[in-house]
């Protein structure tokens, strides 16, 4: 009687399935709950990994609910590689489609924010530009400037106040107001930071990330938000070490 790894895996992931035959306690009894050690190890370790990766979601819905939901997710989407630092890439989409949580529409986007923070934590290092490099440029040519961003930087756009929800739960921030929020993830040192963006800044940074010039990006932003604050947005990018090169194409 040979136990295949397919049988073994099937019985680990489905507690309703019979335990594979051919496993014993070495005294002639079937393995019984000895097999359940593996069922438990797998479920607990994957649940823990998700709870570590999505602490705000766990706080929002409570540990018990989180563990129950993680149990559904891990069975339908076990890790696809041993890179546990990436586990849960599909969790936001899963939350989006999970009927019992449909009344908490913001959960998926909050999970996206946590995922972006985790990616930023492990992202490649990049030497930030010296802020003085900007002021050294001829002012009349600033509109032609193009820039590249550190690998840790990313943008999120949500119809929900995802930054405020994160800050309220993780940083004792004020109670979230019912607004939409754009967020940038920065990593000035080794610790990722989410920052809420002012009007127009998302369009501005998106245009820069696509390789657009400072002038063109500012125009897109002002088009979208007449009160777009260019110097505050540039200041945020500089203090957040978001830029790793600036260039004046000749």
Partner 1 sequence: MFDSQSTPSKLPNRPGVGYKPQHYADLIEDPGTVSWLEIHAENYMGDGGRPIAQLRQLSERFPISVHGVGLSIGGEGALDADHLARLKHLVDWLNPTVFSEHLAWSTHDGAFLNDLLPLPYTDATLQRVCDHINQLQDTINRQMMLENPSSYLAFDESTWSEPDFLREVASRTGCGLLLDVNNVFVSATNLNYDPRAYINEYPLECVGEIHLGGHDEDEDDHGKPLLIDSHGAPIVDPVWALLDHTLSLSGEKPILIEWDTDVPDWATLHDEALRADAALAKIATGVAA
In the bound state with partner 1, the residue whose beta carbon lies nearer, of 30 and 215, is 30
Kindly state the smallest distance separating residue 201's Cβ from partner 1, in Å: 25
In the bound state with partner 1, the residue whose beta carbon lies nearer, of 3 and 170, is 3
Asked if 78 is part of the footprint of partner 1 (rule: CB under 8 A), the reply reads: yes
In the block, which residue shows the tokens 């969790």?
Answer: 91
Asked if 215 is part of the footprint of partner 1 (rule: CB under 8 A), the reply reads: no
Asked if 51 is part of the footprint of partner 1 (rule: CB under 8 A), the reply reads: no
Looking only at the bridges linking them, the beta strands covering 243-247 and 146-149 are: antiparallel
Asked if 136 is part of the footprint of partner 1 (rule: CB under 8 A), the reply reads: no
Kindly state the smallest distance separating residue 205's Cβ from partner 1, in Å: 21
149-163 as b/e, with b when 16 or more CB fall inside 10 Å?
bbebbbbbebebbbb
Asked if 175 is part of the footprint of partner 1 (rule: CB under 8 A), the reply reads: no
Span interacting with partner 1, options 94-102, 118-126, 154-162, 240-248, rule CB under 8 A = 118-126
Question: For 142, phi and psi rounded to 5 degrees?
Answer: -55, -35
Question: For 61, phi and psi rounded to 5 degrees?
Answer: -105, -5
Applying CB under 8 A, which of residues 187, 194, 228, 236 lies at the interface with partner 1?
A: 187
In the bound state with partner 1, the residue whose beta carbon lies nearer, of 123 and 230, is 123
In the bound state with partner 1, the residue whose beta carbon lies nearer, of 34 and 157, is 34
Applying CB under 8 A, which of residues 14, 37, 130, 193 lies at the interface with partner 1?
A: 37
Give the integer Cα–Cα distance in Å for 202 and 166: 19
Residues β-bridged to residue 186:
193
In the bound state with partner 1, the residue whose beta carbon lies nearer, of 85 and 179, is 85
Sequence-ordered list of residues with C-beta below 8 angstroms from that of 157, at least 6 positions apart, any chain: 180, 182, 183, 202
Q: Which two tokens stand for residue 9?
A: 């895996």
Q: Name the 3-class secondary structure at 193.
A: strand
Q: Count Cβ atoms within 10 A of the Cβ of residue 232 and give its class: 0-12 exposed, 13-18 middle, 19 or more buried.
A: exposed
Which residue ranges make up the site for partner 1 (CB under 8 A)? 1-6, 8-9, 12-13, 22-27, 29, 31-35, 37-38, 41-42, 45-46, 49, 78-85, 120-125, 151-152, 187, 190-191
């Amino acid at each position: 009687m040979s136990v295949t790894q397919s049988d073994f895996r099937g019985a680990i992931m489905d507690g309703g399935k019979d335990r594979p035959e051919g496993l014993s306690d070495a005294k002639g009894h079937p393995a019984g709950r000895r097999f359940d050690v593996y069922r438990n190890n797998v479920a607990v370790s994957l649940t823990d990994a998700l709870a570590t990766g999505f602490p705000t979601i766990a706080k929002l819905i409570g540990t018990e609910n989180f563990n129950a939901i993680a149990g559904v997710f891990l069975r339908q989407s076990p890790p696809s590689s041993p890179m546990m630092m990436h586990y849960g890439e599909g969790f936001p989409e899963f939350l989006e489609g999970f009927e019992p949580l449909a009344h908490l529409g913001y959960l998926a986007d909050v999970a996206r924010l946590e995922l972006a923070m985790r990616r930023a934590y492990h992202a490649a290092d990049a030497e930030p530009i010296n802020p003085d490099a900007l002021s050294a440029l001829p002012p009349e040519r600033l509109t032609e400037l193009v820039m590249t961003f550190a690998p840790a930087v990313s943008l999120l756009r949500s119809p929900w106040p995802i930054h405020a929800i994160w800050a309220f739960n993780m940083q004792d921030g004020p109670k979230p107001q019912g607004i939409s929020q754009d967020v940038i993830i920065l990593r000035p040192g080794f610790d990722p930071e989410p920052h809420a963006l002012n009007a127009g800044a998302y369009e501005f940074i998106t245009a820069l990330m696509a390789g657009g010039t400072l002038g063109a990006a500012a125009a897109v932003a002002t088009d979208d938000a007449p009160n777009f604050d260019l110097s505050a947005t540039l200041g945020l990018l500089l203090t957040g070490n978001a830029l790793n090169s600036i260039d004046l194409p000749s």
